[in-house]
Amino acid sequence: MHRTKVRIVEDALDANNTIAGANRVDFDRAGVTVINFMSAPGAGKTTLLERVVTDLPGVRVGVLEGDVEGSMDADRLAALHIPVTQLNTNAGFGGECHLDANMVRSAIPSLALDEIDLLLVENVGNLVCPAEFRIGEDARVMVTAITEGEDKPLKYPLMFRACELVIVNKIDLLPHLDFDLEKLLYNIDAVHPDVETIVLSARTGQGLEPWREWLMGTAARTNQEAIA
């Protein structure tokens, strides 16, 4: 019985990876860089996107907004006059706590890929499932807020290992919390040695420039690779 359950899980992930590959072909054909943006609920993903989507010179940005239900985050981003597509997992996908490749594939016809250079996919807030499902992205970014505590990399290591960049957010709250930033950075390095890390505050803008530069650099790099 246990072996059967494992086989089912493996089959599901294999099927997802196949669809993710098809998504990637479509994104590459359109010359669009795709970032899978992941975190726990409330870590500050939407605010971080608000801070940069209109401030990337020469880069046309679009957003695919993933939520179980509702469109509050998508509404905030659409107010900035960029292309935003809402993808609710509660409508036809069983209320899943993550986006998978098939869900993203269903949204591709609505993404206007010929009008954007960079697609930021704001995944459903969850520290477990999003890390397991590729969607055809070029890179993964994980946001952790200091309000979550220093132990999250040790409790949810896959999420931290699955990404190319870890953003530590809400450092403006450091004076008000019993929190050890160095301990968090140590724990991140313990589960994903040498992963790139940016420490910032989405609310105040402190440390925001490296995040902007990372997006610009990733978009330029993947575009050059696609041309080559």
Sign of CA dihedral 162, 46, 32, 97: positive
Q: How confident is the model at residue 7 (pLDDT cuts 50, 70, 90)?
A: low
Task: Calculate mean pLDDT across residues 106-121.
Answer: 95
Q: Give the per-residue pLDDT at 12.
A: 73
Q: Give the per-residue pLDDT at 95.
A: 73
Considering only CA atoms, which of 93, 92, 76 is closest in space to residue 84? 76
Task: Calculate mean pLDDT across residues 206-211.
Answer: 96
Q: How confident is the model at residue 167 (pLDDT cuts 50, 70, 90)?
A: very high
Q: Answer yes or no: is pLDDT of 228 > 80.
A: no
Q: Answer yes or no: is pLDDT of 152 > 70.
A: yes
Please write the tens of the pLDDT for every residue from 34-48. 999 999 999 999 999
Q: Give the per-residue pLDDT at 173.
A: 97
Please write the tens of the pLDDT for every residue from 66-113. 999 999 999 999 999 999 999 999 866 667 889 999 999 999 999 989
Q: Give the per-residue pLDDT at 226.
A: 59
Distance in angstroms (rounded) separating the CA atoms of residues 198 and 201: 10
Q: Which DSSP string corresponds to 81-148?
A: TS-EEEEETTTTSTT-SS--HHHHHHHGGGS-GGG-SEEEEE--S-SSGGGG---S-SEEEEEEEGGG
3-state class of 169 per DSSP? strand
Write down the mean pLDDT value for the chain. 92
Q: Estimate to the nearest angstrom the gap between the alpha carbon of 151 and the chain centroid.
A: 21
| Domain 2-227 grouped into CATH 3.40.50.300 | yes
Q: Give the per-residue pLDDT at 18.
A: 95
